[in-house]
Amino acid sequence: MTSNTESKVQYALCFHCDLLSELPDITNHHKAICPRCHTRLARASLHMKRDTLIYSICALIMLILACSFIFIHIRVVGNTNNLNLLEISTLLLEDHYISLMFLFVLFVLSLPILSLSIQIIVCSNLPLSKFRKRDLMILYDKLSHWSMPEIFMAGVLVSFVKLTNYGDIGIDQAFWAFCLFIIFQLKSTLEFSSRKIWNEIATFNFVNSKLLPGKIGIKQNIRLCLCCHAILPALQRHCPRCKQKGKLRENDKIQWTMALLITSLILYIPANLYGIMNTIFLGSASSSTIIDGVIYMWQEGDYPVALVIFTASIIIPVLKILALSWLCCFVLFKHQKKQRDCIKMSRLYKMVEFIGRWSMIDIFVVAVISTLIRNGELISVYPDIGVIYFAAVVIITMIASHQYDPRLIWDKH
């Protein structure tokens, strides 16, 4: 067993490069960085629970206000259409676009509410058992990456430029409430420390041997729990803290990543060939693809919007597929790895993780425009089949990046 003095020392096993580090006493609002791959290991906040609680409650209040009033309105040929956030899902459901409605409700409303609720519960003084707190933290770890209200807002701003071609667009009270919701939600996520909550549930160290900072975990016969980041013996399959199953290296995840990339590449073809929006004007229907929208915006002189759509919908999905393929090839075929190459690959993976969600902008643009422009046979806009294919590409590539184990980059260094 470890001694009392050693058990008080805080360690962190980097989930990107597997380097074991001894954490110093981190002062308020400072963070500890892995010296090998520069990944953030821990962040300190003296009043983490209080600040997270305040920002989370404020975010939920703003979201309730944003859903209670008119979000945006547009005046088309003498008719004014008002749009409430909840009406987006209702109108999409009435038109039988269940998949698009599900994506909007899940990523923009349900998951942010669930994540904020978990933060409030675990940071408050509720009489919660360690087992219930553990289950909530496992759920938070699996779902927090899929919250996308800020991407929806970016899609709304892009929609404004497109909607000016149909009529006069205006914003209402709920728009500003939703902006405040995004700010408070991002602030609460930054303040929240999963490591601190997990350490309250149980100790982080379940290894009986002495830990050696500065050496990688695989050479010390220890491994990291990818759920709660506890340090475990290499051969221990189940984590005593979160009860999740794991192993020393997830080598089969490379195969899963490559399989998902091939699937997304196949779906990317119909996503660009089929239309994503169907416009009915004076009884005649016309379908437009993603590239048609980019060309239209460019011809209209809206160059920044055209570049945003082209980057988010064309460049990012392609680059993400190529980048993840490169990362898989680096692990499989690169036998002599230099540190600078590993650092480059690690940075590439972090970039892929960050930008992958932003391709959802075009999905939210279609959802907003199709629910606002509804004037019967005069002019109406409806989602087309291509938007489902494109959403599948974005979601599958996000799953592929989560399946990838970045520690494999450093193993042969």
* 5 pLDDT more than 60: no
In a domain, 286, yes or no: yes
In a domain, 226, yes or no: yes
Residue type, 129: S
Q: What is the pLDDT of residue 281?
A: 67
Say yes or no: 388 and 323 in one domain. yes
* 4 pLDDT more than 50: no
* 256 pLDDT more than 60: yes
Q: What is the pLDDT of residue 355?
A: 85
| Closest by CA position to 376, among listed 281, 307, 295, 304 | 281
- Please check whether residue 411 is in contact with residue 369, taking contact to mean a CB–CB distance below 8 angstroms: no
Residue 234 φ/ψ, nearest 5 degrees: -60, -35
Q: What is the pLDDT of residue 159?
A: 84
CA 269 to chain centre: 24
- Looking at the structure of the chain, the number of domains it has is 3
* 299 pLDDT more than 90: no
Say yes or no: 39 and 54 in one domain. no
Q: Which residue has the higher pLDDT, 234 or 337?
A: 234
Residue type, 164: T
In a domain, 197, yes or no: no
Say yes or no: 262 and 403 in one domain. yes
Q: What number of residues does the chain have? A: 413
Residue 1 confidence class, pLDDT cut points 50, 70, 90: very low
Over range 218-237, report the average pLDDT: 90
Write the CATH number for 396: 1.20.140
CA 27 to chain centre: 28
End-to-end Cα separation, the chain, in angstroms: 31
- Residue 399's SS3 state is helix
- Please check whether residue 181 is in contact with residue 49, taking contact to mean a CB–CB distance below 8 angstroms: no
- Please check whether residue 37 is in contact with residue 19, taking contact to mean a CB–CB distance below 8 angstroms: yes
Q: What is the pLDDT of residue 162?
A: 76
In a domain, 355, yes or no: yes
Q: What is the pLDDT of residue 313?
A: 81
Say yes or no: 36 and 54 in one domain. no
Least confident stretch, 178-182, 241-245, 281-285, 305-309: 281-285
* 104 pLDDT more than 90: yes
Say yes or no: 291 and 319 in one domain. yes
- Please check whether residue 179 is in contact with residue 139, taking contact to mean a CB–CB distance below 8 angstroms: no
Distance, in Å, from the CA atom of 399 to the CA atom of 41, rounded to the nearest integer, reads 23
- Please check whether residue 193 is in contact with residue 219, taking contact to mean a CB–CB distance below 8 angstroms: no
* 279 pLDDT more than 90: no
Residue 74 φ/ψ, nearest 5 degrees: -140, 140
Q: What is the pLDDT of residue 144?
A: 84
Say yes or no: 180 and 97 in one domain. yes
* 212 pLDDT more than 80: yes
State the pTM of this model: 0.87
Say yes or no: 267 and 362 in one domain. yes
Over range 277-296, report the average pLDDT: 75
In a domain, 385, yes or no: yes
What is the per-residue pLDDT across 340-375, written as a single tens digit (0 to 9) for each? Answer: 888 888 899 988 888 888 888 889 988 888 888 776
Mean pLDDT estimate for the chain: 86
Q: What is the pLDDT of residue 377?
A: 57
Say yes or no: 345 and 257 in one domain. yes
In a domain, 17, yes or no: yes
Tell me how crowded residue 171 is: count the other CB atoms within 10 A of its CB: 15
In a domain, 98, yes or no: yes
Over range 390-403, report the average pLDDT: 91
Say yes or no: 227 and 301 in one domain. no
- Please check whether residue 133 is in contact with residue 201, taking contact to mean a CB–CB distance below 8 angstroms: yes
Q: What is the pLDDT of residue 150?
A: 93
Say yes or no: 383 and 254 in one domain. yes
Say yes or no: 40 and 54 in one domain. no
- Residue 142's SS3 state is helix
Q: What is the pLDDT of residue 285?
A: 67
Distance, in Å, from the CA atom of 95 to the CA atom of 214, rounded to the nearest integer, reads 59
Say yes or no: 70 and 17 in one domain. no
Percent of residues, the chain, with pLDDT higher than 90: 31
Domain residue limits at 81:
49-192
Q: What is the pLDDT of residue 303?
A: 76
In a domain, 245, yes or no: no
Over range 195-222, report the average pLDDT: 89
